[in-house]
Amino acid sequence: MKLTFVLFWIVALSGCSSETVSRGATLLSGLSQFSGEMQRVGSQPERWPDRQRAAGGLKTLIAGTLGASGEFYRLVDLDLRKREFHIAMGDSHLRADRLQEMTSELAQMDEEIVKLKPVVKNQLAAIAAQESAQRIDNIATLGLLGIALESFSAAGAASGFAAPSTKVGQYIVTDLGSASTVRAPDGQSFRCNLFSIADEGSGMRCEPAR
């Protein structure tokens, strides 16, 4: 993610009157872009400046959408450190004793990440409280943010092929990858898509499923 776009989003969200974009959806889009960027440069040792810039851009976006969050910043820092560790541990010339030390440190980082996530999840819920929490698009956004948080810097790969889902109140939100669905308590289903508006941010568009 480029920092210039991050700054545009923050400025737009702080004064934009449009109801089509939201802080939650903009943060969700930023998390997705961060994940994509890390997949692109994550395994190349010489691309560490790009990884640092991506992490810095995400923290700037967090500040502009969620607000200052030491816990979320720490999650990003730990994710970056884990990536650098995994790259270093792939070096065949790494000493065995250092490999053992790094393995132990990775386990400690994973333990800290597990403790931080519930705190950040509560902070994400505050976004819905500031917006129209009962709107389907905001329910979808909050659910997808929760799913994204759970997978963020996770210790192990997800098992099985089932699409990840979560509950937001009595609604069930399912992440299908290119889209998502929301099932209401009365059985009505909605199909939702994340979209972006240049220099403004991102929003969630939901329509009844046919």
**pTM of the complete model:** 0.84
Task: Give 143-200 pLDDT, tens digit per residue.
Answer: 999 999 998 988 665 555 788 999 999 999 999 988 999 999 999 999 999 999 988 8
Which amino acid belongs to residue 97?
Answer: D
In angstroms, the CA 196 to CA 204 distance is: 9
DSSP 19-35: SS--HHHHHHHHHHHHH
CB atoms within 10 A of CB 111: 11
pLDDT digits (tens, 9 = 90+) for 20-65: 789 999 999 999 999 999 988 878 889 999 999 999 999 999 999 9
Residue 18 has pLDDT above 50, yes or no: no
CA dihedral over 48, 51, 53, 55, signed as positive or negative: negative
Cβ–Cβ < 8 Å for 182, 143:
yes
